[in-house]
Amino acid sequence: MRQNRRKQRRGNDCGFAARRVLTSEKKKNLEEKVEEEIRAGLAALKEPLNQFEKETGELLAGLEIPPLSYFTALVHDNLTIRQKASWREILSFSLIAVTFFSLIGYLLHHGYLLPVAGFFALAALLLPTVLLFAEEN
Amino acid sequence: MEKKPLQNLGQTRVPEEQLLASLLQANYMKVLGYFLKLTQDLDQAKDLTQETMVKAIRNYPQYRGEAQFASWLIAIGTNLYRDALRKQKSSQRQDPAALAGAGRPVPSVVNIDLKQALLQLPPEKRLPLILKYYYDYSYQEIAACLRIPVGTVRSRLHSAVHSLRRLMEEKLPSEKQNQSS
């Protein structure tokens, strides 16, 4: 009885493995087919695509690259803005942190343990949700 | 791994700024060319290039030197372009008449079919096609740049090539008909 079950299980395992191999082979074949179609399509479009690149190149050749002084000024201005912004960020962060912890300390000192614990539990629950919707830079 | 260019320099800020400025200058035309291919509008391409340069300067500390500087700029530019499209779409939703036909350049007579066909492709198909064909990016690089899976890159590229061919084939018979009449 046990042997039969083992055989059946082994048979099932082999079936799954075989199916997995078949699926991955199918997937590979499909990818190759798609790849081939992309290559053929691009080859057929080669002439107009190259012509378009040539036209773009000609248009670009007629344009002037701004001088180095322009880029240096751009870098200088933006680095200064960034530095100022980062200082402002550090200061505001420190100020908010100190205020927040002072408030927590004040509340705990006056015996509001449960509301504080509730607030932290709520924050722990909501923070991941807020992070999910945060915009990427 | 390519070393971050500014790491090799001294601590003074002026040479750092100059080096970053020269890197930006060296890659200016490449970025402009990329946007020109995407938008086919010189003014829009120039604006996007400028925005890319500014964003690159502000995000420079995040550049780890894993990719080439030009590729990093193109990745920034691609995100900016997608953001601009998103904004354009939302403003179109608010006022459909405002942007109808706005920013659409008049294509030159030569190569008119491909330009029109490219513009008719949705950006999510146009981007992988341009990155693959003109910049020879691998699927992995395109996937990283567009933040989509490799399989999606392949299918979008396949669909882009298919649509482009179909659009061009549609154009050809109608033009022949016009010429004969």
Rounded Cα–Cα distance for residues A108 and A1 (Å): 67
- Residue contact B161–A42, C-beta within 8 A: yes
Same domain, B157 and B181: yes
Residue A53 pLDDT exceeds 80: yes
Q: Look at phi and psi of residue A43 and say left if phi exceeds 0, alpha if psi is from -120 to 50, else beta.
A: alpha
Asked whether residue A56 falls in the same domain as residue A115, the answer is no
Closest CA to B6 of B82, B62, B90, B80: B62
The model's confidence at residue A117, banded by pLDDT at 50, 70 and 90, is: very high
Q: Which of B63, B168, B74 is nearest to B128 (CA)?
A: B74
Interchain pair A51, B168: CB under 8 A: no
- Based on the fold, state whether residues B114 and B127 are members of the same structural domain: yes
Question: Which of A14, A34, A63 is the C-terminal boundary of a domain?
Answer: A63
pLDDT at residue A57 greater than cutoff 50:
yes
CA distances from A93 to A86, A89, B82 (A): 10, 6, 31
Q: How near does any CA of chain A get to the CA of B114, in Å?
A: 6
Q: How far is CA B67 from CA A134, B4, B114, in A?
A: 26, 10, 31
Helix%, strand%, coil% for chain A, nearest 5: 90, 0, 10
Q: How confident is the model at residue A84 (pLDDT cuts 50, 70, 90)?
A: very high
State how far residue B4 is from chain A, nearest Cα, in angstroms. 17
B142 plus B60 within the same structural domain: no
Q: How far apart are CA A41 and CA A9, in angstroms?
A: 47
B52 and B93 housed in the same domain: yes
Residue A18 has pLDDT above 80, yes or no: no
C-alpha–C-alpha distance, residues A104 and A124, integer Å: 16
Based on the number of CB atoms within 10 Å of its own CB, is B105 exposed (0-12), middle (13-18) or buried (19 or more)? middle
- Determine, for residues B21 and A72 on separate chains, whether the beta-carbon distance falls below 8 Å: yes
Residue in chain B closest to A86 (alpha carbons) equals B58
Domain check: are B67 and B115 in the same one?
no
Q: Which of A38, A48, A72 has the CB atom closest to B17's CB atom?
A: A72
Return d(Cα A9, Cα A3) in angstroms, integer.
10
**Residues A34 and B7 sit within 8 Å (Cβ to Cβ):** no
Same domain, B85 and B165: no
Packing angle of the helix pair B42-58, A68-109 (nearest 10 deg): 50
What is the chain B residue with the closest CA to A52?
A: B111
Total domain count for chain B? 2
Q: What is the mean pLDDT of each run of 10 residues along chain B (181 residues)?
A: 45 74 94 93 93 93 83 93 86 57 43 78 91 92 90 93 85 59 54
| Final residue in a domain of this structure, among A17, A48, A63 | A63
Quote the crossing angle between the two packed helices B69-94 and B123-133, to the nearest 10°.
Answer: 160
In this structure, the answer to whether residues A99 and A127 fall within a common structural domain is: yes
Q: Which has more confidence, A86 or B97?
A: A86
Q: Using an 8 Å CB-CB cutoff, list chain A residues near B53.
A: 71, 74
Determine the pLDDT at residue B143: 92
Same-domain status, A58 and A72: no
Give the count of domains, chain A: 2
Point out the domain boundary residue: B55, B86, B105.
B105
Amino acid sitting at position B154:
R
Q: Please give the residue range of the domain that contains residue B114.
A: 108-181
Q: Which residue has the tokens 């700029």?
A: B73
Q: What is the pTM of this model?
A: 0.70
* CATH code, domain carrying B126: 1.10.10.10
Rounded percentage of chain A residues whose pLDDT exceeds 70: 82
Q: Report which residue type is found at B131.
A: L
In 3D, which of B135, B97, B104, B99 has the Cα closest to residue B120? Answer: B104
From the list B162, B132, B168, the residue with the least C-alpha distance to B150 is B132
Whether residues B138 and B101 fall in one domain? no
* Partners of residue A38 in chain B, C-beta under 8 Å: 154, 157-158, 161
**What CATH number should be reported for the domain holding residue B84?**
1.10.1740
Mark out chain A residues that contact chain B at CB-CB < 8 A: 31, 34-35, 37-38, 41-42, 44-45, 48-49, 51-53, 55-57, 59-60, 63, 65-66, 68, 71-72, 74-76, 78-79, 81-82, 137
Residues of B with Cβ-Cβ distance to A62 under 8 angstroms:
none
Whether residue B81 is found in the same domain as residue B169: no
Task: Out of B105, B123, B149, pick the residue that ends a domain.
Answer: B105
The verdict on A90 and A118 lying in the same domain is: yes
Query: CB–CB of B157/B128 below 8 Å?
Result: yes
Say whether both B19 and B94 belong to one domain: yes
Residues B92 and B76 placed together within one structural domain of the fold: yes
- Of B42, B77, B105, at which residue does a domain stop? B105
- Copy the structure tokens of residue A32: 């190759």
Look at residue B3 in the predicted model and tell me its pLDDT. Answer: 43
What would the two tokens of residue A118 be? 């509730």
Q: Which domain holds residue A111?
A: 67-137
Find the CB nearest B165 among A44, A71, A81: A44
Indicate if the pLDDT at residue A136 is higher than 70: no
CB nearest A42 (choices: B24, B25, B133): B133
